[in-house]
């Protein structure tokens, strides 16, 4: 394989088997991201956090495209079907197109707390794209849904 060729000849990504080592490394990265974010919202008042330079635009364009998320209860608990049903996947894809050139690594995978009133756990974490994580957490922070995490952490110090 020469330097310019990144993929071996004859490699079929669509039919390639999963590598357990790569999956483990990916899981570790997701957990590191979750831990870093948890440390942020327990150390800084969530309403003061800025997750990207695009927070305002992300929030406003998302709420235009998904007005049902103006309800805080809908933001508090995100279910797999809210993201992964056939109908929702189509809505999300349309939304992503608007951001794919603006938001770096928008389609990297990460973990989101399904219920923001609970900690990260196996039963309270769902796999989402980075843009989805950012949108939900920006809105949760702005609406005060993550305040309890910060208050609990700072009251025990």
Confirm whether 16 is domain-assigned.
Answer: no
Relative orientation angle of helices 130-142 and 55-65, to the nearest 10 degrees: 100
Count of structural domains, the chain: 1
So what's the pLDDT on residue 3? Answer: 43
Confirm whether 93 is domain-assigned.
Answer: yes
> pLDDT tens across 50-65, in order?
999 999 999 999 999 9
Structure pTM?
Answer: 0.84
Q: What is the distance between the alpha carbons of residues 102 and 33, in angstroms, rounded to a whole number? A: 21
H or E element in which residue 63 lies = helix 55-65
Q: How is residue 57 written in tokens?
A: 């635009």
Confirm whether 21 is domain-assigned.
Answer: no
Confirm whether 22 is domain-assigned.
Answer: no
> pLDDT tens across 72-116, in order?
889 999 999 889 899 999 999 999 999 989 988 888 889 999 999
Domain that holds residue 140: 29-44+70-151
Confirm whether 18 is domain-assigned.
Answer: no
So what's the pLDDT on residue 14? Answer: 60
Confirm whether 6 is domain-assigned.
Answer: no
User: Are 78 and 126 within 8 A, CB to CB?
Assistant: yes
User: Which residue carries 């025990």 as its tokens?
Assistant: 156
CATH number for position 36: 1.10.3560.10
Q: Which residue in 113, 122, 135 sits closest to 42, CA to CA?
A: 113
Confirm whether 24 is domain-assigned.
Answer: no
User: Are 76 and 145 within 8 A, CB to CB?
Assistant: yes
């Amino acid at each position: 394989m020469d330097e310019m060729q990144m993929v071996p000849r004859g490699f079929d990504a669509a039919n390639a088997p999963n590598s357990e080592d790569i999956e483990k490394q990916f899981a570790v990265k997701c957990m590191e991201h979750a831990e870093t974010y948890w440390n942020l919202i327990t150390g800084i008042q969530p309403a003061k956090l800025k997750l990207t330079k695009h927070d305002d635009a992300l929030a406003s364009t998302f709420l235009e495209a998904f007005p049902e998320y103006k309800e805080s209860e809908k933001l508090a608990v995100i279910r797999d079907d809210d993201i992964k049903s056939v109908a929702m996947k189509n809505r999300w894809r349309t939304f992503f197109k608007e951001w794919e050139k603006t938001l770096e690594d928008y389609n990297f995978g990460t973990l989101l707390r399904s219920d923001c009133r609970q900690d990260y756990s196996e039963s309270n974490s769902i796999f989402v794209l980075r843009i989805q994580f950012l949108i939900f957490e920006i809105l949760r922070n702005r609406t005060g849904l993550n305040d309890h995490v910060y208050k609990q952490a700072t009251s025990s110090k």
